[in-house]
Chain A
Amino acid sequence: MSTPMIQISNLMKSYKLGGEIVHALNNVSLNIDKGEFLAIIGPSGSGKSTLMNMLGCLDRPDTGNYLLDGKEIGKMNDNDLATIRNQKIGFIFQNFNLLTKLTALENVELPLIYSGLSAKIRREKALESLTKVGLKDRAGHMPTQLSGGQQQRVAIARALAGNPSILLADEPTGALDSKTSAEILLLMKELNEVGNTIILITHDLSIAKQAKRMVQIQDGQLFENEGEQIGNLTIY
């Protein structure tokens, strides 16, 4: 068996909140292989966001190790983390987080700008990425001229543009109606089938169920019991 793409072991992260120390992540260990479709489910306040920030290299753990493609993230400085985010992580947010003053194409180009590609290659890659999500013909539109589902597709195209190791989706359907949600989830499944590693973070069990593998986070601790009861939620 090859080494997992993500190896997290004994991760600890705590915050001071009004003089009280909150253990947002308490001894979390998790391995994720290349090509997986993993859902992380948990109620608000469970440490879900902290885990996502950690996985997305936006934050560093207090103690513990996080190996991404064999590189230790915890020891990196801000600049190296930015490079890692740029090359290895594709973020998909709940409220899309597109830049409203840029067109769809320019939004998709943005991560490629920061990786220093030439304008021509950027354009090619961004168009290719938009084609993958089926929005090639909307390339020149501003985000405000697109529907919620289309905006999220542009955001997915942006996440895909740099050909990252993992797609990190934080409640990607949280701001969409159920029909559009289904479409987005279908797109993510398709992307997973062609080899993209996807980590889906949600509080919605029905959405988490779409993933191939599911872990639950509660009070900063991670549980993974396949086919068994997880907390007070029953799976399968």
Chain B
Amino acid sequence: MAILQSIKMALRSIKGNKLRSVLTMLGIIIGVSSVIVLVSIAQGSTTNVTSQINSLGTNLLTINTFGTNLSLTEDKINKLGKLSGIQALSPVVSGRISVKKDRTSSQTTLTGTNAAYESVRNTNVSNGRFLTDIDLEYRQKIAVLGATTAQNLFGTENPVGQYIQLNGNSFKVVGVLASKGSSMGQSGDDLVIVPLSTAERLVKTTSINQVYLQGKTGQNMDLVMAEVQNSMASMYPNQTDNYSVMNQQDLMSTMSSVSNTMTMMLGGIAGISLLVGGIGIMNIMLVSVSERTKEIGIRKAIGAKRRDILLQFLIESVVLSAMGGIIGILFGLGVGKILGSALSMTVTFSSSIVLFSFLFSLVVGVVFGVFPANKASKLNPIQALRYE
């Protein structure tokens, strides 16, 4: 018997039991759409993070400190800038501060750094100017705002030239940064940048949390990194546990392993719901087989072979799961889009995950359809005919 004919028959039987078919498909719909939504969100944040890291260039080194045992000081750090492979460096003092403009106030991240930060971190100013060396020298009370911070405090007004309060001290806004977007739920735009010397007073510390170093070229970064590690080790002996030197490759692989784990986990959880949907299909198909025992008997009496009956039920469950899969894909794409714009997350749809979840739903249809279909095909026609 032709497959096309079987598909027609399956569609007719699905149409004949609309409510039941929809309820059966619901399991697959939810499964497929949650796979798509969750994986797309995870992949979206992966691409976001990757592109951010990439935008900094491959010649960036980062020194991070942990805990309070180690305090890097500005004059020692500046010695790293004399290493042959280093083009520029920018130390960072950071902390949380309260920022206030008129009656609007909020907590935000304070970054105290130097003028080189702009090029080292590939930060662009969309309005006004960045810090200059002279600002550091004269401990100027000026600030550059992140895009979100500027938006929160000033709304549509132009912040440049206006004054804000940082922990009660008045600072003049000289510039606003271009938006960098958010990744993994963290906004890169909610911060205030002030000169390093001023920041040390504001957060009452002289110890540097982080140093960004820019290599002269993208090549031989491993060599440059070894150089930096050596001189760090000689400046701060027996402290290697309290700081780390990372290059972009390290950062990238760390981030990608984190986000891969996240993708797998979310996909796995959604996959389980697809499996549960499959069990729902099997359940309904079993009910359908026993409900249609008589029909199977009639079909067998007029010449249906085992294979015909098996195919009929198998195709029915595959058609059911395929329809669920297609609806689930559309639903998932829709929900992904809505979530992406509502929560301003980057949602990346990949055709491979759409294809994968559709194929998976087909496989679920086959796997969970085989048992009921086989049961139907094995019915004895005499007993099936007698069944009421």
Binding site for B on A (CB under 8 A): 53, 56, 58-59, 78-79, 82-83, 85-87, 91, 93, 97, 99, 101-102, 110-111, 113-116, 119, 158, 162
Contacts and interface: CB of A to CB of B under 8 A. Distances in A.
A119 B13 CA distance: 19
B1 A56 contact: no
A86 B13 contact: no
B343 interface: no
Interface in B290-323: 294-295, 297-308
Given A82-B304, A97-B385, A116-B1, A110 B299 contact: yes
B11 to A, nearest CB: 12
Nearest to A96: B298
Instruction: Classify chain B: how many residues form its interface, as a range.
Output: 20 to 34
Contact of B303 (A59, A83, A93, A119): A83
Contact of B5 (A78, A91, A113): A113
B306 A85 contact: no
Nearest to B304: A114
Given A58-B301, A99-B295, A114-B304, 7 more contacts: A59-B382, A79-B307, A82-B303, A91-B301, A110-B302, A113-B5, A114-B308
A158 B302 contact: yes
Interface in B308-341: 308
B67 interface: no
Nearest to B17: A101
A114 B303 contact: yes
B306 A78 contact: yes
B interface secondary structure, majority: helix
B274 to A, nearest CB: 30
Contacts of A101: 12-13, 16
Given A58-B382, A113-B1, A116-B1, A99 B303 contact: no
Contacts of A59: 382
Given A58-B381, A97-B385, A116-B1, A82 B298 contact: no
A114 B1 contact: yes
B367 to A, nearest CB: 25
Contacts of A53: 382
B16 A87 contact: no
A24 to B, nearest CB: 12
B303 A79 contact: no
A113 B304 CA distance: 9
A79 B305 contact: yes
A37 B184 CA distance: 83
Pick from A59, A83, A86 the residue with the most CB of B within 10 Å: A86
Contacts of A99: 295, 298
A115 B13 CA distance: 21
A85 B381 CA distance: 12
Contacts of A58: 300-301, 381-382, 385
Interchain residue pairs A-B with the least CB separation, the first 6: A86-B303, A114-B303, A111-B302, A82-B305, A97-B298, A85-B303
B13 to A, nearest CB: 7
5 contacts: A58-B382, A79-B306, A110-B302, A114-B308, A116-B1
Contacts of A93: 385
Contacts of B2: 116
A170 B295 CA distance: 17
